[in-house]
Amino acid sequence: MSHTLAVLLLALCCIAGLILVPLGLPGLWVMVGGVLGYGALTGFRTVGIATMAIVLGLAFLGEIVEWWVGFGLTERYGGSRRSGWGALVGGIVGAMVGVPVPIVGSVIGAFVGAFAGAAVFEFSWSRTPTVAVRAGWGAVLGRAAGAAAKIALGVVIAVIGGFAAVKG
C-alpha cells in the first residue's frame, strides 16, 4: 500500500476523531486506531512502541480527565457523588436519544441528559430543587470542560501522528 494512502487514512481518522469528541463519541480511540493503522500500513517504520504508548496514554488520560472534571464540577456546584453518576448516565442516554437529529442532536442530547441526570439523581438524594439545579448546571459545565480537554488531547494525538507521517 502506498505511503500517500496511509497518510490519507491517518488524516481522515484524526479529523473524524476530532469531530466525534464533542458528540460524546469515542473520537480519541478513532485517532489511536488511525495512528496504529498508519503504522501497520507503513511497516511500523515511523510508528513504534513508544509512539503507540504515548498515543494510548493520551487517550486514556482524556477519558480520565473527562470523568474527573465532570464529577468535580458537579460536586463543586453542590452536587453529591450520586449526581456525578447521574450526569454520566444522563449524558450517555441523552447523546443516544439525540442521534436521530444529525450532528447537533447528540451534542445537545448529551448536555441536556447530563443536566437532567445530575439534577434528578441529586434531587432524589437531597430533596432540594435549588441544589439539584445547581448540580445539573455543574454537570453541564463539566461536560463542556471535559470535551474541551479531550479535544486538546486529540490535537496532540493528531500532531504526533502527523510527525510520524512526515518522518515516513
What is the structure's pLDDT at 1? 56
Distances (CA, A) of 15 to 4, 10, 27: 16, 9, 9
CA dihedral 14, 145, 129, 78 (to 10 degrees): 140
Show the 3-state SS of the chain: CCHHHHHHHHHHHHHHHHHHHHHCCCHHHHHHHHHHHHHHHCCCCCCCHHHHHHHHHHHHHHHHHHHHHHHHHHHHCCCCHHHHHHHHHHHHHHHHHHCCCCCHHHHHHHHHHHHHHHHHHHHHHHCCHHHHHHHHHHHHHHHHHHHHHHHHHHHHHHHHHHHHHHHC
What per-residue confidence (pLDDT) applies to 22?
82
CB 16 within 8 A of CB 139: no
- Per-residue pLDDT 10s for the chain (168 aa) are 578 889 999 999 999 999 988 877 889 999 999 999 999 999 888 898 999 999 999 999 999 998 899 888 988 998 888 998 999 899 889 988 887 787 778 888 989 999 999 999 999 988 899 999 999 999 999 989 999 999 999 999 999 999 988 886
Query: Taking the domains of the chain in order of start, what are their residue ranges?
Result: 3-167
Crossing angle of helices 129-167 and 81-98, rounded to 10°: 60
| pLDDT of amino acid 2 | 78
pLDDT given at position 71: 87
Residue 60: the pLDDT is 96
In which residue are the cell numbers 455543574 written? Answer: 138
Taking the model in full, what pTM does it have? Answer: 0.84
Q: What is the pLDDT of residue 58?
A: 97
